[in-house]
């Protein structure tokens, strides 16, 4: 019966107003995958796919604001992405730089707070400075928090947190027996936000790729074949609608 009602209701796409009547996720995380394939399908260089990929991100930030979703975390560049060909990496750095320059004013006007999560030591100074300026300029905004996962790897994040915990134990700031999940979560880059309720991955891949491994323990997962540059507003709303049908039990009955 549940399956039937699900199939039936999936025929009608709900509007933003209708979706707002039910529980919307507080935090959505997205793995924006498929830019390279989108580019090659259009006979374009890979970088054109990344450039096109900025558009759905902009639209989704706006939709989060309209829906009342308070946190959006976008996997923009992983720790492993540094190993891509030099020209793709430098093209992406230039794209991040230009995007912050082009979008900051509007994001700020719309109450979006930008937070960079990842290993800052590896990011070129010029690009890092733009992001850090954006963090300062938007730090009092509270409409939507946009976490940009950049030079981000979850295993690395967890390892760094373990090291911090060890230092705190050595310095007698905490007793080893007092280290619990809540304490540990506060040592991660995501210390100021709740765990994601929903994780979306585009492009037909069914993996997590070193993204928010600790934080997604109880997240709902949504996979779609759509390549990131083609990820439309309608499909984002569909993912939210799908989330609203999920029965979240957090291990309970
Ligand atoms: C993965 O697709 C995508 C990336 C590594 C880059 C994503 C970046 C953006 C969408 C720009 C965001 C901009 C800002 C300022 C946050 P892929 O290259 O792995 O695609 P493929 O699997 O088809 O090759």
Q: Tell me, yes or no, if 33 is annotated catalytic.
A: yes
Is the shortest distance between the CB of 151 and ligand 1 below 6 Å? no
Question: pLDDT at position 253, please?
Answer: 76
Architecture of the domain made up of 22-153+193-232+239-245: 3-Layer(aba) Sandwich (3.40)
Question: pLDDT at position 8, please?
Answer: 46
Best residue among 29, 30, 31, 36 to mutate for probing ligand 1's pocket (most ligand atoms within 8 Å of CB) is 36
Is the model's pLDDT at 3 over the cut of 60?
Answer: no
Comparing 5-19, 48-62, 125-139, 208-222, the range with the smallest average pLDDT is 5-19
- Which is it for the CA torsion 147, 151, 154, 158, positive or negative? negative
Q: How confident is the model at residue 10 (pLDDT cuts 50, 70, 90)?
A: low
Q: How far apart are CA 64 and CA 27, in angstroms?
A: 9
Q: How confident is the model at residue 11 (pLDDT cuts 50, 70, 90)?
A: low
Task: Specify the ligand 1 atom closest to the Cα of 39.
Answer: 23
Is the shortest distance between the CB of 79 and ligand 1 below 6 Å? no
Is the shortest distance between the CB of 36 and ligand 1 below 6 Å? yes
Query: Residues 198-209: what's their mean pLDDT?
Result: 98
Is the shortest distance between the CB of 76 and ligand 1 below 6 Å? yes
Query: Residues 124-128: what's their mean pLDDT?
Result: 98
Question: pLDDT at position 251, please?
Answer: 84
Question: Strand, coil or helix: what is 142?
Answer: coil
Task: Specify the ligand 1 atom closest to the Cα of 56.
Answer: 10
Contact predicate 153/78, CB 8 Å:
yes
Query: Residues 55-75: what's their mean pLDDT?
Result: 98
Query: Residues 195-199: what's their mean pLDDT?
Result: 98
- Which is it for the CA torsion 105, 107, 108, 110, positive or negative? positive
Structure tokens given for 118: 């990842």
Q: Tell me, yes or no, if 192 is annotated catalytic.
A: no
Locate the domains of the chain by residue range. Answer: 22-153+193-232+239-245
Question: pLDDT at position 248, please?
Answer: 78
pTM: 0.94
Q: How far apart are CA 96 and CA 57, in angstroms?
A: 12
Q: How far apart are CA 90 and CA 122, in angstroms?
A: 13
Is the shortest distance between the CB of 164 and ligand 1 below 6 Å? no
Q: How far apart are CA 72 and CA 34, in angstroms?
A: 19
What is the phi/psi pair of residue 69, to 5°? -80, 125
Q: How far apart are CA 187 and CA 162, in angstroms?
A: 8
């Amino acid at each position: 019966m549940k399956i039937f009602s699900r199939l039936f209701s999936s025929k009608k796409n709900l509007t933003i107003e209708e979706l707002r009547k039910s529980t919307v996720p507080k935090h959505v995380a997205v793995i924006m995958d498929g830019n390279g394939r989108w580019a090659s399908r259009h006979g374009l260089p890979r970088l054109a796919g990344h450039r096109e990929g900025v558009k759905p991100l902009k639209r989704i930030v706006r939709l989060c604001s309209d829906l009342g979703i308070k946190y959006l975390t976008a996997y923009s560049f992983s720790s492993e992405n540094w190993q891509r060909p030099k020209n793709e990496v430098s093209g992406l750095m230039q794209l991040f730089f230009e995007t912050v320059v082009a979008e900051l004013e509007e994001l700020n006007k719309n109450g979006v707070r930008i937070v960079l999560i990842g290993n800052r030591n590896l990011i070129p100074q010029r690009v890092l400075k733009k992001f850090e300026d954006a963090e300062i300029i938007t730090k009092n905004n509270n409409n939507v928090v946009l976490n940009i996962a950049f030079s981000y790897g979850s295993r690395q994040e967890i390892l760094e947190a373990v090291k911090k915990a060890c230092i705190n134990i050595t310095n007698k700031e905490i007793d080893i027996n007092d280290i619990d999940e809540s304490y540990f979560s506060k040592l991660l880059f995501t210390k100021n936000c709740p765990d994601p309720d929903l994780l979306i991955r585009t492009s037909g891949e069914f993996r997590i790729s070193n993204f928010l491994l600790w934080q997604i323990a109880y997240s709902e997962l949504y996979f779609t074949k759509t390549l990131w540059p083609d990820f439309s507003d309608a499909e984002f709303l569909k993912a939210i609608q799908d989330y609203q049908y999920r029965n979240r039990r957090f291990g309970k009955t």
